[in-house]
Amino acid sequence: MQTNTNNPVMIVTGKSIWFNLGIIFFAADILTAIGIIFAFVFRAGLAYLLLVLVGFSTLKQLHVESIQWIQKEIPNNNAH
């Protein structure tokens, strides 16, 4: 199996975990974007738009925390 030597995370964890995590976050980002579009198209009101933006900022925080957690766990997974 060919691994990407430029990315140390790929070497340690392999493709599947990272790939699945990326797809989950990508889908969540798309859903958030769709929510913003719907808020504008249907003029759902400022409260709904605010709710979407809060969800978006929470999602970005989840991105950062999960990446930090993975970076912290890498030394423990490097046994093999």
Q: Quick check: 5 pLDDT over 60? A: no
* Number of Cβ within a 10 Å radius of residue 57: 11
Distance between CA atoms of residues 77 and 74, nearest Å = 5
Q: Phi/psi class of residue 3: alpha, beta or left (left: φ > 0; alpha: ψ in -120 to 50)?
A: beta
Read off the pLDDT of residues 13-69 as tens digits, 9 standing for 90 and up: 556 666 667 777 777 777 777 777 776 666 666 666 677 777 777 777 777 777 777
